[in-house]
Every structure is written in structure tokens, then in C-alpha cells.
């Protein structure tokens, strides 16, 4: 395999790149008037009369044109992809026939990785979670979502290119891993679709910026270290799992998590300039699915939707690639759509949709958004259950940051706001459309809401979880191959936890006698259903 | 009317402006020795031997010469004024005869607006308070003080050029306005002397930096929105108030709030470099006057003082424009002067006054300052009443940030410090001078002190409040025209509040039956006294 | 005396200095390959093929090469020293024969002051503590450590070049000094080895950046001020202490506090990039010695060790100048070495030592470090006493920031960790080596640990304290001359404190009748032992 280059990133504003950008724009827009419209340049007197007047957005110039910023980011991705393709071409010309990969980074927003993924044979990435900062299960969910994002790009196994056997040296604090965590983290990658477990680095260098980056062999140099022993142990486990490489992950549900939409949303001014919490919001949907025992795909707007039973589309600010039509068909055909506030606001050049949002889906959702209230840090409202709501939601839940005020046009309110002048306004709604249902979450509700709400939907849809009754602190995931399913049960706490595994399973790794020990993994196989 | 340009701001350090600055300096100082003295350049070896050596203060050069910084700010104001006058000249040359205005910004420190105000026919400004962040009545006071500052510049009605019908998009959080607040905020402008209520913007643009700035007509585009209805309602109220445009605001009291003094004070190093709280301190005087039912003028040192009964001069660091003589005459003739710590420290080029401060007013105040103690954030001292103090102050009040230690030379202590080695030192003093009295507040006391203390002074002076007994959360203000007074009573809470309006009034707007509803305004007229 | 220049600082990246830097490097390394090895340039592809390719580290270029950064700092010190020597040469050539000095700054990390100190006759420094921010005794310890550092550079009396009679104007908050503190702070300098007490400034200037810097004569200008009186009083005390100028400070213990090691340690990435607390950690050793009644020298790795009974070497990241051999001999010959975590990690060009750390001292300490755990801000572990530990430590102590996990090779654990998976691992160890003992503190323990632990060592070593039983809030220090010892007892609280002074003493200054008043100093002399 060829690893084409390391962690592509950065952007260039040199005259050559500026020229290339103008050419890229000409190719996309053909005429300067099209740019003036797309970027709405008449506001604040930005109108261009020629492509030659366009400069890249930078701190030396103007970053106030959102459309320009957005196209610049697309261009940077295209330039990087182009560069990568030249690199690949070079090795191909020289006769190399091995597959290629390039390593991606966690939640990196400088590039649209989907574009690069098209041209390599395998996606790979470098996983450096900050363990032991929050509850480890939360870090496991966050890392799991990244694994699932990497896998979903090509819908096939990926590679864990880098991970740290001890602690990276560049995080705010270099925490060492508790015994067992290294193995857990390594096996989590496999559970989520990686066909490799690799470490950076085998041996610590004596100098340089990363001389204190954890390694299999440290400056001491011996094999008699805790790290070396745990790496060895992990390797022995992996040797017995080679057949899993043939399997793949199947997910009944997906989360729409789109980089272009994120670029535009986070660049915009309003409705909340001190934090929109996009990643955190998507993660709450992810956790809710996982805690309820489901594998999850993380897809963007260009990918097919038809294989899923539920699609969560949190904060889908930009509608592009015909997503409104695709979602409409998805619901029409029986799918469950879960949409939230601040969705369908702009088109692909960041021009606001007129006539009500989420754009083009009012008939599907049975509502449109009227106003959106930003909440100060620390300000809280609550979701209260509407009497007799169909999913039988009974609790109250805190919500923060953004509260959408919607006008119902057929949707049924399931929960309502508890406070402010919009007390009693809908906070969660449902609308039947075709054979499916479309839910709308009006505000940034706490994680428990997502857990409870998704549980009821999953139960109602009769989607089979990988395991029933998953205790807190345990992550469950699976891969399938023909007749067999490989199930990974991971304990991300330091306590032994009671857990009930199904009958007729074969334990491939780990110890099970009604419990799972702290920081250990049980892997079993069973017949696929 | 001609609106000359939008929100003048910024400064230019190009070679042409540097040359203009040197010319400006030559014109002011004539000889380089005069500059060396005025800016005290011998300190740290900054002595100039020629005007050509002077460069504007910038991050590329030197910002350590306070006198230079101060003159640069004056020059920037003069340059901007000059530019504006050229713009006005252009429209006059072309035959336009309409009045002119230029819109100012809230608490903007980049320009001395008084200079620009001289050359336009009307002052106007853009009011974008961050409602619903603190108690709304506090935001109303802060906004009211800005209105009064704008009105006081020309002592005649101003224009509310811009305000937002929904929420601006560029604040940290875009909070929507509670029902009624839009009308209240609009009428507050009128109450304080505006002869217009205008909104930015009528219709949201589809793109650009402010595409999410609130508008009368939003992206949805309908008239059936909460905002549209409230704007409409506000317009109807205003239609019935047109006669008020003939009236003007009369204030028995004024606050000296001077931009040149502020420039110098906030640029200085010491006695507190992590916050002097000038604006907040002035605001405490403002709130105290308003809570006690008085209209307030906000004036600078060049304006006449004679029409006022009380003048508060908080933190008047710089004495210029002969202010010490004017204040002396004011007290001599029966006025009440309220001065505070950190006043009369420097002259108009930021050279420290020798021989005791507040400069030139020791005989009026009956004291001079000996030392000033900076307090850490969170550190607190207290004011305790001196037994038998004449205004009968009875409570204890917290003070923070700065504590002046004064030596009495005739003044009588009314309150004293409770803590530190200066326990028992004077904290509030009074001195009779001529027919008037001069008070000195030694430290940054809490708002309740200002309220209680001013109440006693106002009562003693027999100044008639607009209304007696103003409940918390209510703002009261008035305009007068010949025989009539127009009184605005505004509720800035969401509760209905009992309030006692006088007899023989005619309600012009709003509902009154012994109470005022939450977020509503009552306007009545009565015979002037 | 000639004061050569004021507070040397800064660095220059101009072409001339870059060229000088390359010449300096050639002189040190001779061949580019030696640089490539020393700086480990092969990491991240930094390999140089010529000296001409080397550029100084700056924000315009690359700061990622730790070895380059380190040599640059050494070069800047050498350039500055060279400049200073030219200045000295100039006055010598002109016939001046007076001694020279240059004033240093508190805890300044831009220069290695030891290099400059070589070429002046006296060390002097500018002392501007921020009194009344924390407990004053803590500020006194911190200032005392700086005095001791200045004295230890040349092991002879130094000069207090600048101190502020009131409050400096450039600190975050300008707090005035409580009565008595000015005298205390002045006499503390003398107690620690200064032969001068000087103030900046005699008279406040009217303008300039420091116009509000405290002065003996302020803008008011009179002699009837609190400050003027306290300065006068201090002067009178000093007049009676002139014989103390002949004496010197003798310390039985020293702290290794090395600038080159600090440069490298604080530039490195890992194990904690949000605070290593080097200064604070050294200060905890310092306080422990002082609270137990000992004078302390603050030395670097190039100074002789043989005169001390105890050497504390906290966080001695870099081993250079043969320190491991010197420390080995020191312990061999009966010395007490106290070493901590994160020591002996790199060599003098910041290359990591292989084979176990602290490098070269495993046999002396009886252990090597295996892993080091970074703790989040707010995260705490604890030291618990091991049953039957020889120094009879009985309490538990909090530790933070960094926890070393060591493997014992002969050392005896005295305390152990209370929490995390390394509960029960050694937290404090001792190892007998030759005639001495080597202690190893594994984590950043709280100040009380240092106090209690050092007390036991001092007692066991039978080192005589200046005074027995020093109450909290009191600092004690001494100077000796032939047969006499001059003891300074200083109360850094505002309370009168009971204290027992020995018999047969002669009070030189201050009042003693079984107590010492708040913010006062007692100076007595006694026969040396």
C-alpha cells in the first residue's frame, strides 16, 4: 500500500493560487454577474466588475463575504485533491500497482474529505482522543462517531493509520492510559470497521517536536514496560481476529453530517456567534443511537439514503445536492426523518431561502420556522411533554443555545416549551407524510432527551438492537460477514459490570461470566439473523 | 434630509495622513519644544528635534507616548470632520438645501462626536441594545443615557436612525425581543428626544454579512409574523404622537461625560489597568437620577453648566476647557457639584497637575487626594455612615476597584471606609462653598449608594421629580412644549405593576387603571408647572 | 559606580544578527552534521545542508526546532553580554575605574543572567513585588528567593537598584502599601544580602508612561505624605545598620534553579502544555527551607555544590555541565539530595537521554522513571505515608499536575499514591548512596508536604536553624561577619505575633517584648556559633 502524504492541511494565498482560484471560479460561474448574485455582493458594496478583482479571503483582506469564503474552502479542497492525484499519478507512472491511502484527522474542518476519498483506495485516519478527560464512555462515543464517519465515506473498511500507545505530547495535558484502555481503543477501531490497528510511533526519537510522543518503545528502550506489554497483548488478540477483516459494518440508521453545510453555518453571523455546537449536537444523536444498540453511518448530503430506516439530520443549515427532494422521497417511502432547528436555511452558495424554512420540506414536516431565539451561555429552557403524546414521553428535558419558534401546518406537537413568552409553543413535533414520519426538534435539547426519544422511535419501528439493555459505560457495535455477526462489547469504566449476553454465542476474545471487567472487551460471534 | 455617510469610524496611518498629522501638530504647537513639553518626551528618551520625526502611534511603532496618542485621536476626529464637511459641501454646491445628519454609534470611543455634531443639522444614531441579557430596566437606563447624550450634543431633538425590529445578527447571541419590547424601545427614543423611529432593515437580504439581521420583512416574506405585527402597532401609536415632535426635553441635572478625558484616562497606566469602569460609573449616576424621577443631560466640558441644579462629574480625569473655573462658579452660585475620585489629575495634554488634586478645586471641595488604592477584582471595602451625617445616610454600601484617600481641608465626612488600614478615613464628604455645596465620593460605590444619596440631595434641593415613587422596573421621562408636558411611563418587566399617576392628566397612549402592564408604555400629557 | 544600562532585554532578528548567529553556531558546532544531530533535524525533515540555511526562530519562520530555539536563547545572551562588555570597555578606555553593575529583573527568562554577572562587579536588580495580592508572607518568600538568586550569582552582596516607595503603575492593579510594609520590604533586601536600598523614583514626572509610578515625592509635592514619612523612617533605620554591609549570607542548603534547563523544559511539548509550574515548585522548596529557619542559596548547574548539606533539585529537566557526576559525588560524600519528577530527561542540546531517567543517577536514587502522568487542572491525587517510613511522615498531602511512576531499584518508598490505577505506587522514596541519601519526590505535592518533609530531614541532619519555632507569617534570615550574626525577624501580617527570641542578643532595630508587631522588623545581633 502507498501512503500518499501525511495529514493534508493548510491553504495557500500566493499569486499562483489566487490565479488558480479565479480560474476555478470562472469555470464554475462563467460570468461575473453570476458571482455577484451568488455571493450577494451588492450588500456592503462588494460588486465585482471582473474576475480579476477577486482576491482570496484572508486576514490581509476581506473575510466578510460568506459566499467567497465558502467557494474558497471548496477550491482549497479541490487544489489539495488535485495535488494528491498528481502524487498518485507519479507512483502509477513509475509502475506501482499497490492500493493507495491518505490519512485524515479527527473532525478536521479545513478540507471536505469526501472529495479526497474518491481518489484513494482506502480511507485511513489518525485517532488521538483525549482519554480520561471526561467520562471515557463519552470519549468512546466521540471516537466511534469519527470511525463511523471514516467508514461511511467509502462504505467499506478503513484503516486506523495512527494511534498512540501511550499519550500524545501535543495535547494540553499528556495523560497516560489506564490499563486496558489501549486494547479497548484498538479494538474499537476494528469494531467500527477498521481493518488495521497501527501506532505512531514504534520508537521515540531523541529530539524534535514530538520527542515525548508516546511510543511502543520509549527512551528507556526496554521491553519491560507497561506500554510494551499492553501493545504485545493487543497484538495477540488481533492475531485471532483476522477473519473479521472480511466483514463489514451494517447500520440501520444514519446521521447527515455535512462539511459544506458546516462551513457555511459556522461562518455565518447569527443567530449565535459564541457557539452553535454543531458537532456536539450531532454527537447527541449518535450517542442516542449507540446507547440504544444500533450501528450508525455518518453520511453527507450526496450519499444515498434508501438503505436506512431512520435518518437524523441535525442543524442541516444548507440544503444542497437536492437533499430536500431526497428526504421527501425517503419519508414518502416509509422512512423516519428527524430534523432540527436551523435547517434548510440557505442554498449551496449561502443565499437564504425565501418563503419559509426548512426550505422545501414544510409539507413533509408540517410546519415552518418563524423565529429563532439565541440563549445566553447558562440560560436554559425546558421541553415538557404534551398530554397524551404518542411516543409517551414523560420527562422534562433542559434545552439551551437555540430555540426555534415554529408555526404548525399539520404537524402534531409532542413536547412544548416550559418558559419565556413562548411557553406552550411546540418544542417537538411529528408529521405523517406518505408512509413515513417526519419529526422536528425545535431546540438544543440535552442528551437524555435524545436517548429517550430515539428509544421510543426505534422500538416503534421494531429495529433490532445489537444487544438489549446496554448498561451505562458499555459500548456495543458489530460487523457482519455472510452468516456471522461479530459483536464487540466494551467496558469503558474501571468497574466490573453485570451484562446479559445472548445464548448461542461463541466468545472470540475476553472473559464473560455474567459480567464484563473494567476496561476490557468481549468479542463474540453469532449467526446473523 | 441628507444622511452624509454611515457610522464614521477608523483611522488611517498612510503617508498622506502622517503628513497631515504633522501639519496639524505644527498648527497647534508651532515649535517642537512645545511638543516635547506637552508630551513629556524626555521620559524614556523620546525627545524630538523636528516635526518630521513624529510618527502616528500604531502597533508598528510606539504607543507609549500618551500625549501623542491623545493628539492623534483628536487629529483623527478632525480629519473625519473635515471629510464630512467636504461631503456636505459637495451636496450644497450641487444645490441641495435639505438638512444633514450623520449617524453615530453607542458609546463609540473612536471619535469625539461633539466635533462632528457641530457641522450637521441633526444628530442621529443607531441603537442596538442587547436586550434580555441583564434586567431589561438596566438596559433601558443604559440606552436612555445614550439617547440623552445624543440629544445633549445639540440640545435639541435628534433622530433614531437605526434600530432592529427583531435581533441584530452580529451580537454574541441573537436574542429575539419579548412581545412589547419593540414598542417600548421605540417610544423610549421619542421620550428621550428623538423625533423619529426608524428600523434597519425593512427587508432581509438573501446574502451578505447581515443576512440574518432582523428586519420588518424577513426571508419568509409574509405580513403574518409577530415582528411585522408589532412594527405595525408601533407605527399606529406614533401616528398619534406627532405633536410631541414640537416638544423638547428639559433636564434639571447633568452628568459630565467627556470623551477627551476618557481617551486620556483609559490610555494611562495606573491606578488600575484591568478596568476603570468609567462608563459603568457614569451610568450609576444616571440611574440614580432616573430612578429618582429626573431627566438628565449628558454633557462634555465645553458646554454651559448654568441651567442645572446638580452636576455629577464622575472620574473627570482631565480638566480642560477651563472646567475648574466653571465648576467653581457653578458651586459659588448655588449649584450642587458631585465629584469623585480620579478627577482633575491631568491637563489637556495629559500632564499631571502638581500641588494636589482635583486640580484647582481643593477650596471648593475642601480636600485634596493623597493616595489612591487599586482593589483586585472581587476585593471589596465598604462605606459606613458617619454618626449624625446631614443627609441622614443610614445604610452601608460596598465599594470596589478604586479607593481614594483624601486629606480634609474643611470638608465634612458623611461616610467613612469600613476596612483596610484606611478604615475610618472619609469615603463621602461635603463642603459648602459660596451658595452651593460640593460633594466628593471617594470610591467606586455600588448603585444603591448612588440612588439613596442622590435621593437625599434631590429632596433637599426641592427638585420636582416627573413622578413621585417610581416602582422598580419602571422608567419615567418627559418632554415639554409650551404649556404641556408629555410624560412617558415604561414598564421594562413582564409583570403588571401598581403605579400611581397624578390627577388631571390626559392619557395619549396605553392603558391605565392603577397599574401598568408588562412591557407596555403609558404616555400622558399634563399642564406644565 | 557605573550602572552600564537599564534592564537588558529583547532580541534582534535583523540580517546582521542572523549572520552573527550563524557564526556563533559554526564556532560551537564546526560542521553542519553536528547541528543536524544536536537538533535532531531529521524529524519533520528539517535537515540542513549548510549553515547558510539556518534562520533564527521567530513568528515569521519556524519555532518547531527545540534545539534551535535553545541555542538562539544562548546566542541572545552572548550577544547581550558582548554588547555590555563593549559598553564597559568604553568607560574603562575613558579612564573610569569605578565598579560596574547592571540591573536585572525578577524571574526574567529572556537572558541567562549568570553570563552577564561574570563581567560586572556587582549584581543589582529591580524588585517590584505585587504586595497584598496573596498573603504577604508568600510574596515575601517569593521576593526573598529572588534576592537569594541575585546574591548567589556572585556569592557576595548585591544591590537593590530599584524598588517602589508607593505602588508601580504598570501592574494590573496599583495597590498602595500598608503602613510598615515599605520598611519591611527594604530591610528584607538587606537581610538577604543587599548592600543598598534604592527607590525608583525620587519624584514623579508630570508625563510619560510612568507618570503614575510611585515616588518618594509625588505630584502633590509635599513632604507631609505618608509615603515620604515612611521613606524617611526607613532611611533612619538604615543609617544605624551600616556595619551590616561588611557581612555576608551563609546558607547550609541550596536549590538548583537553572535557566538553560528551564528554557528547554518550557519550550518542549509534553507532558503538560498548560503549565509545568517550575517556578512555583522551586518556590515550595524555598518556602520549606525558610519556614524551617534556614538561609538558602539559589544556584545553577555550573556552581560548586560542596559547601551545602542539602541540595534540592526540583524539575531539573536538563542535565548539563556534568551535573550528574557532581551530584553523585555530593551524595557519595554525605550530602542530602532531593530530586523530583521530570529530571535528567535531556542533554544540553535537548536530546533525550536513553536508558532510563533521571539520567546517570539511577544508582544514586535507586530507581528510574517509567511513565509520567499529566493531571488536568483541578485533578488531584494524594501522597499517603507508607507504614513505618523512617522520617515518620504521618499526614496525607495533595499532589497535582504531574505524577511520575517509578520503578524501584533499591530505593525505599516512604509515601505512596492514594488514587488512580497507580494507587500504592511510590510517591516519595529514599536511597542511601555512599555516605549520603538521595530522595525522590514523584509528583507536584502541596507546600505543606515540603514543609513537613524538609523539617524532618533538617532535624535528622542536625542543621541549626536561625531561630527555632518560627510562627506563621514571620520570615527569618541572617547575615554573618566574623564573630557576629545579624538576624532579621520580619512580621508580614498585620497582627502582633508572639515570638521567642534567644537570650544574649542585642536588638539593633525594632521593638521586642515577647512579641513582634504587625508589619515590623526586629534586627538583632548575637555571637556567631
Concatenate the DSSP letters of all residues of A480-497 into one string: EETTEEEEEEEE-SSS-E
Mean pLDDT score, C53-76: 95
**CA-wise closest residue to B414 among B444, B440, B447:** B440
Q: For residues B504 and A253, give the distance between their C-alpha atoms in angstroms, rounded to a whole number.
A: 71
**CA-wise closest residue to A267 among A376, A346, A322, A360:** A346
| Active-site hit among B11, B106, B162, B223 | B162
Answer positive or negative: Cα dihedral of B403, B407, B409, B415. positive
pLDDT score at A529: 72
Residue A82 dihedral angles phi and psi, to the nearest 5°:
-60, -45
Q: Which of B133, B173, B227 faces A274 most closely, judged by CB atoms?
A: B173
CB B184 within 8 A of CB B233: no
Asked whether residue A505 carries a pLDDT value surpassing 90, the answer given is: yes
Give me B373's grid cell. 488604592
Please tell me the CATH code under which domain A474-527 is placed.
2.60.40.1180
Q: Which chains touch B (3 or more CB pairs under 8 A)?
A: A, C
**CA-wise closest residue to A343 among A411, A434, A441, A272:** A441
Question: Which residue on chain B is closest to A64 by alpha carbon?
Answer: B209
Percentage of chain C modeled with pLDDT above 90: 98
Question: Which residue on chain C is closest to A206 by alpha carbon?
Answer: C352
DSSP E strand stretches across A395-502? 397-408, 412-417, 426-433, 436-441, 443-445, 474-481, 484-491, 497-498
pLDDT score at A202: 96
User: If pLDDT is split at 50, 70 and 90, which confidence band does A29 have?
Assistant: very high
| Active-site hit among A11, A55, A162, A302 | A162
Q: For residues C429 and C450, give the distance between their C-alpha atoms in angstroms, rounded to a whole number.
A: 14
**Residue numbers in A near B201 (CB within 8 A):** none
Residue C257 dihedral angles phi and psi, to the nearest 5°:
-140, 100
**What letter would DSSP give residue B379?**
-
**What letter would DSSP give residue A353?**
P
Residues 6+ away with beta carbon under 8 Å from B197: B160, B163, B186, B187, B189, B190, B234, B238
User: If pLDDT is split at 50, 70 and 90, which confidence band does C529 have?
Assistant: confident
Q: Please indicate whether, in this complex, the C-beta atoms of A353 and B219 are within 8 angstroms of each other.
A: yes
CB B406 within 8 A of CB B429: yes
Q: Which chains touch C (3 or more CB pairs under 8 A)?
A: A, B
Strand partners, A298: A255
pLDDT score at B528: 85
pLDDT score at B282: 98
DSSP class per residue in C200-228: S-SB--SSSTTTTS--SB-TT--S-SHHH
Q: For residues C426 and C365, give the distance between their C-alpha atoms in angstroms, rounded to a whole number.
A: 13
Mean pLDDT score, C215-219: 98
Task: Quote the minimal CA–CA distance from B295 to chain A in Å.
Answer: 32
Mean pLDDT score, C236-263: 97
Q: For residues C195 and C184, give the distance between their C-alpha atoms in angstroms, rounded to a whole number.
A: 15
Residues 6+ away with beta carbon under 8 Å from B137: B472, B473, B474, B475, B492, B493
B371 is catalytic: no
Helices (H), B273-418: 278-291, 323-332, 362-365
Q: Please indicate whether, in this complex, the C-beta atoms of B173 and A271 are within 8 angstroms of each other.
A: yes
Which positions 262-291 of A are in contact with B (Cβ < 8 Å)? 268-274
List, for residues A246-289, the tens digit of each pLDDT value: 999 999 999 999 999 999 999 999 999 999 999 999 999 999 99
Mutate to test the interface with B, among C59, C173, C214 (most CBs of B within 10 A): C173
Burial-class residue A27 by CB neighbours within 10 Å (0-12, 13-18, 19+): exposed
Calculate the dihedral angle through the C-alpha atoms of C66, C68, C72, C74, rounding to the nearest 10 degrees.
70
B205 touches chain A (CB under 8 A): yes
User: If pLDDT is split at 50, 70 and 90, which confidence band does A60 have?
Assistant: confident
Give me B245's grid cell. 415632535
Strand-by-strand arrangement of the A484-491 sheet: A474-481, A484-491, A521-527, A506-509
Strand partners, A484: A481, A527
pLDDT score at C528: 85
- Under DSSP, is residue B108 helix (H, G, I), strand (E, B) or coil? coil
Q: For residues A199 and A214, give the distance between their C-alpha atoms in angstroms, rounded to a whole number.
A: 9
CA angle B309, B311, B314 (to 5 degrees): 165
Q: Which fold has domain B2-246?
A: TIM Barrel (3.20.20)
Task: Quote the minimal CA–CA distance from C204 to chain B in Å.
Answer: 9
Task: Quote the minimal CA–CA distance from B164 to chain A in Å.
Answer: 14
pLDDT score at A53: 97
Mutate to test the interface with C, among B63, B360, B374 (most CBs of C within 10 A): B374
Helices (H), A294-406: 323-332, 362-365
Q: For residues A78 and A8, give the distance between their C-alpha atoms in angstroms, rounded to a whole number.
A: 12
Helices (H), C192-338: 226-239, 259-267, 278-291, 323-332
**What letter would DSSP give residue C110?**
S
From first CA to last CA, the distance across chain C in angstroms is 35
Whether cis (ω within 30° of 0) applies to the bond prior to A201 is yes
DSSP E strand stretches across B347-421? 367-374, 381-385, 397-408, 412-417
**What letter would DSSP give residue B51?**
G
Residue-wise over C467-487: b if at least 16 C-beta within 10 A, else e? beebeebbbbbbbbeeebbbb
Percentage of chain A modeled with pLDDT above 70: 100
Percentage of chain C modeled with pLDDT above 70: 100
pLDDT score at C403: 98
pLDDT score at B7: 97
pLDDT score at A136: 98
**Residue numbers in A near B178 (CB within 8 A):** 420-421
Residue C529 vs residue C459, higher pLDDT? C459
| Class of domain A253-460 (CATH, top level) | alpha beta
Residue with cell 524626555: B42
B208 touches chain A (CB under 8 A): yes
Asked whether residue C62 carries a pLDDT value surpassing 90, the answer given is: no
CB C136 within 8 A of CB C180: no
C133 touches chain B (CB under 8 A): yes
**Residue numbers in A near B133 (CB within 8 A):** 376
- Count CB neighbours of B226 within 10 A: 17
Q: Give, to the nearest 10 degrees, the angle between helix A278-291 and helix A259-267.
A: 140
Ranges under pLDDT 70 in chain B:
none
- Count CB neighbours of B62 within 10 A: 14
Give the CA radius of gyration of chain B: 24
Give me B306's grid cell. 448654568
CB C469 within 8 A of CB C455: no
Residue B454 dihedral angles phi and psi, to the nearest 5°:
-65, -35
Residue with cell 417511502: A333
| Class of domain B253-461 (CATH, top level) | alpha beta
Q: Please indicate whether, in this complex, the C-beta atoms of B269 and C210 are within 8 angstroms of each other.
A: yes
Burial-class residue C202 by CB neighbours within 10 Å (0-12, 13-18, 19+): exposed
User: If pLDDT is split at 50, 70 and 90, which confidence band does C240 have?
Assistant: very high
Asked whether residue C315 carries a pLDDT value surpassing 90, the answer given is: yes
User: If pLDDT is split at 50, 70 and 90, which confidence band does C18 have?
Assistant: very high
Asked whether residue C60 carries a pLDDT value surpassing 90, the answer given is: no
Q: Which of C274, C368, C420 faces A172 most closely, judged by CB atoms?
A: C274
Q: For residues C302 and C316, give the distance between their C-alpha atoms in angstroms, rounded to a whole number.
A: 13
Residue with cell 553570563: C115
**CA-wise closest residue to B177 among B141, B139, B123:** B139
pLDDT score at B229: 98
Asked whether residue C232 carries a pLDDT value surpassing 90, the answer given is: yes
B228 touches chain A (CB under 8 A): no
Q: How many CB pairs under 8 A join A and B?
A: 106
Q: For residues C167 and C153, give the distance between their C-alpha atoms in angstroms, rounded to a whole number.
A: 28
B223 touches chain A (CB under 8 A): no
Q: For residues C3 and C25, give the distance between their C-alpha atoms in angstroms, rounded to a whole number.
A: 31
C211 touches chain B (CB under 8 A): yes
Q: Which of C274, C353, C357 faces A173 most closely, judged by CB atoms?
A: C274
A7 is catalytic: yes
Give me B485's grid cell. 408636558
User: If pLDDT is split at 50, 70 and 90, which confidence band does C302 have?
Assistant: very high
Give me A410's grid cell. 399539520
Give me A243's grid cell. 477473519
B33 touches chain C (CB under 8 A): no
- Under DSSP, is residue B158 helix (H, G, I), strand (E, B) or coil? strand
Domain ranges of chain A: 2-246, 253-460, 474-527
Mutate to test the interface with B, among A265, A346, A374, A419 (most CBs of B within 10 A): A374
Q: For residues C251 and C253, give the distance between their C-alpha atoms in angstroms, rounded to a whole number.
A: 5
CA angle A7, A289, A308 (to 5 degrees): 85
3-state SS, C350-395, equals: CCECCCCCCCCCHHHHCEEEEEEEECCCCCCEEEEECCCCCCCCCC
**What letter would DSSP give residue A463?**
P
User: If pLDDT is split at 50, 70 and 90, which confidence band does A59 have?
Assistant: confident
Amino acid at each position: 500500500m502507498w501512503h500518499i502524504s501525511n495529514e493534508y492541511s493548510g491553504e495557500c494565498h500566493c499569486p499562483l493560487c489566487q490565479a488558480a482560484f479565479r480560474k476555478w471560479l470562472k469555470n464554475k460561474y462563467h460570468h461575473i454577474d453570476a458571482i455577484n448574485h451568488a455571493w450577494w455582493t451588492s450588500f456592503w458594496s462588494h460588486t465585482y466588475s471582473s474576475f480579476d478583482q477577486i482576491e482570496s479571503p484572508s486576514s490581509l483582506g476581506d473575510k466578510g463575504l460568506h459566499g467567497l469564503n465558502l467557494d474558497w474552502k471548496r477550491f482549497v479542497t479541490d487544489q489539495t485533491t488535485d495535488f494528491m492525484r498528481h502524487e498518485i499519478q507519479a507512483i502509477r507512472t513509475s509502475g506501482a500497482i499497490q492500493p493507495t491511502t491518505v490519512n485524515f484527522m479527527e473532525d478536521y474542518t479545513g478540507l471536505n474529505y469526501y472529495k479526497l476519498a474518491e481518489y484513494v483506495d482506502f480511507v485511513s485516519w489518525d485517532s488521538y482522543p483525549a482519554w480520561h478527560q471526561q467520562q471515557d464512555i463519552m470519549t468512546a462515543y466521540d471516537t466511534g462517531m469519527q470511525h463511523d464517519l471514516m467508514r461511511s465515506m467509502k462504505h467499506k473498511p478503513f484503516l486506523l493509520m495512527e494511534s498512540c500507545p501511550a499519550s500524545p505530547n501535543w495535547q494540553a495535558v499528556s495523560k497516560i492510559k489506564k490499563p486496558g484502555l489501549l486494547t479497548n481503543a484498538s479494538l474499537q477501531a476494528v469494531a467500527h470497521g477498521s481493518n488495521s490497528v497501527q501506532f505512531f510511533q514504534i520508537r521515540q526519537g531523541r529530539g524534535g517536536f514530538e520527542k515525548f510522543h508516546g511510543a511502543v518503545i520509549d527512551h528507556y528502550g526496554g521491553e519491560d514496560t507497561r506500554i510494551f506489554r499492553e501493545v504485545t497483548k493487543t497484538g495477540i488478540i488481533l492475531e485471532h481476529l483476522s477473519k473479521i477483516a472480511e466483514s463489514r459494518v451494517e447500520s440501520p440508521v444514519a446521521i447527515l453530517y455535512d462539511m459544506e453545510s458546516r462551513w457555511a453555518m459556522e461562518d455565518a453571523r447569527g443567530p449565535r456567534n459564541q457557539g452553535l455546537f454543531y458537532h456536539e449536537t450531532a454527537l447527541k444523536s449518535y450517542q442516542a443511537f449507540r446507547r440504544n444498540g444500533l450501528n450508525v453511518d455518518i453520511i453527507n448530503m450526496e450519499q444515498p439514503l434508501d438503505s436506512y430506516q431512520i435518518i437524523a439530520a441535525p442543524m442541516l443549515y444548507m440544503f444542497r445536492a437536492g437533499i430536500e427532494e431526497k428526504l421527501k422521497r425517503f419519508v414518502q417511502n416509509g422512512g423516519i426523518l428527524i430534523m432540527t432547528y436551523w435547517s434548510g436555511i440557505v442554498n449551496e452558495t449561502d443565499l437564504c431561502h425565501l418563503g419559509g424554512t426548512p426550505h422545501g420540506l414544510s409539507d413533509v414536516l408540517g410546519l415552518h420556522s418563524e423565529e429563532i431565539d439565541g440563549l445566553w451561555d447558562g440560560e436554559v429552557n425546558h421541553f415538557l411533554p404534551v398530554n397524551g403524546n404518542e411516543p409517551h414521553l414523560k420527562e422534562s428535558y433542559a434545552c439551551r443555545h437555540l430555540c426555534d419558534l415554529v408555526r404548525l401546518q399539520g404537524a402534531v406537537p409532542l413536547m412544548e416549551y416550559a418558559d419565556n413568552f413562548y411557553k406552550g409553543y411546540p418544542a417537538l413535533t411529528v408529521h405523517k407524510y406518505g408512509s413515513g414520519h417526519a419529526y422536528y426538534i425545535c431546540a438544543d435539547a440535552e442528551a437524555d432527551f435524545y436517548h429517550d426519544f430515539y428509544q421510543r422511535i426505534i422500538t416503534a419501528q421494531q429495529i433490532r438492537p445489537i444487544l438489549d439493555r446496554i448498561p451505562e459505560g458499555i459500548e456495543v457495535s458489530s460487523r457482519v460477514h455472510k452468516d456471522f455477526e461479530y459483536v464487540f462489547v466494551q467496558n469503558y469504566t474501571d468497574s466490573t459490570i453485570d451484562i446479559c449476553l445472548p445464548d448461542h454465542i461463541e466468545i472470540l476474545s475476553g472473559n464473560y461470566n455474567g459480567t464484563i471487567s473494567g476496561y476490557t472487551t468481549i468479542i463474540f460471534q453469532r449467526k446473523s439473523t
